[in-house]
């Protein structure tokens, strides 16, 4: 049984505590009070309650750490080196439609480097966790990315959100390129879980544009610690600032990244 550090125990404990309220609300999803804040982007009362629980638990365990939340935004702390990056409910649309595929995502950024991540899927009680240098795990099992060596044998996941006119054209071009070169494509509705599934070898890779830092911060740590590669669409490591991410196992990442870049017009292009 892998030994979890005190840091991972804090993160896992906070995630499980917040999950209790999410699961209760999921059982009564038709009665939730929902407000619309933008196209395809809904915030539920459950989301806010879970965020409150996470803030209280993490702030109590590590006083002074800052936060970056989906709803509250940036919350400065007395400690300038440490910041929690938190999504209390990744997969909101699934949740609100009664689809049991959503997660809680918590990452710790230290001196601008992601060093730990937890993604918890409460319905199946799957806790994905990773810490820099300590590997990636799901509950008590060590994780490794898949061993597929060719795109033709690989299955990829993606997500999509509308942010501007023309985004759907880019997305369809990307999906078409991947479907033509690979085994299949899945779109499940939770970027954090998609990345966790890459770490677990369930998917061979994942890509998406226009993500927020809290959507992918924990998943980035998981994929890296499971032996995978993660880059932005320019081949760098600015995923949290650019919002674009390409993640895959070590053997197909280069070919997958090349395929993605060829199918994605550069910023400002009208192609």
Q: How far is CA 160 from CA 103, 203, 259, in A?
A: 17, 17, 18
| 151-263: CATH, from 3.30.590.10, 3.40.190.80, 3.40.50.300, 3.50.50.60 | 3.40.190.80
Same fold for the pair 6-142 and 151-263: no
Distance from C-alpha of 134 to C-alpha of 238, rounded to nearest angstrom: 23
What are the pLDDT digits (tens) for 137-168? 999 999 999 999 999 999 999 998 766 556 78
> Could you report the per-residue pLDDT of 177-233, keeping only the tens digit for each?
999 999 999 999 999 999 999 999 999 999 999 999 999 999 999 999 999 999 999
Q: What is the pLDDT of residue 44?
A: 64
Domain ranges of the chain: 6-142, 151-263
Q: CA–CA separation, 47 vs 104, rounded Å?
A: 10
CA distances from 195 to 16, 111, 165, 224 (A): 19, 23, 27, 10
From the list 98, 257, 110, 122, the residue with the least C-alpha distance to 192 is: 122
Q: Which of 212, 211, 255, 207 is nearest to 231 (CA)?
A: 207
Whether residue 81 contacts residue 110, with contact meaning beta carbons closer than 8 Å, is answered with yes
User: What's 6-142's CATH class?
Assistant: alpha beta
Looking at residues 38-57, what average pLDDT do you find? Answer: 74
């Amino acid at each position: 049984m892998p030994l979890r550090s005190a840091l991972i125990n804090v993160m896992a404990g906070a995630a499980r505590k917040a999950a209790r309220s999410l699961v209760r609300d999921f059982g009564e999803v038709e009665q939730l009070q929902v407000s619309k804040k933008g196209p395809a982007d809904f915030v539920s009362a459950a989301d806010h309650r879970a965020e409150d629980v996470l803030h209280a638990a993490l702030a109590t365990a590590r006083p002074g750490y800052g936060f970056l939340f989906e709803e509250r935004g940036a919350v400065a702390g007395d400690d300038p080196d440490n910041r929690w990056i938190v999504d209390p409910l990744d997969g909101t649309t699934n949740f609100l439609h009664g689809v049991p595929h959503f997660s809680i995502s918590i990452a710790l950024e230290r001196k601008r480097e992601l060093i730990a991540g937890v993604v918890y899927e409460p319905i199946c009680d799957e806790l994905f966790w990773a810490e820099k240098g300590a590997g990636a795990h799901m509950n008590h099992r060590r994780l490794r990315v898949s061993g597929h060596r060719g795109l033709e044998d690989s299955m990829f996941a993606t997500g999509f959100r509308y942010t501007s006119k023309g985004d759907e054209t880019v997305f369809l071009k990307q999906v078409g390129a991947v479907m033509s070169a690979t085994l299949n494509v899945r779109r499940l509705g939770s970027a954090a879980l998609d990345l966790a599934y890459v770490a677990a070898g369930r998917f061979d890779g994942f890509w998406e544009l226009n993500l927020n830092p809290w959507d992918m911060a924990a998943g980035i740590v998981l994929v890296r610690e499971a032996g995978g590669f993660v880059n932005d669409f320019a081949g760098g490591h600015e995923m949290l600032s650019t919002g674009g991410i390409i993640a895959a196992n070590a053997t197909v990442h280069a070919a997958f990244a090349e395929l993605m870049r060829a199918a994605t017009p550069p910023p400002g292009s009208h192609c």
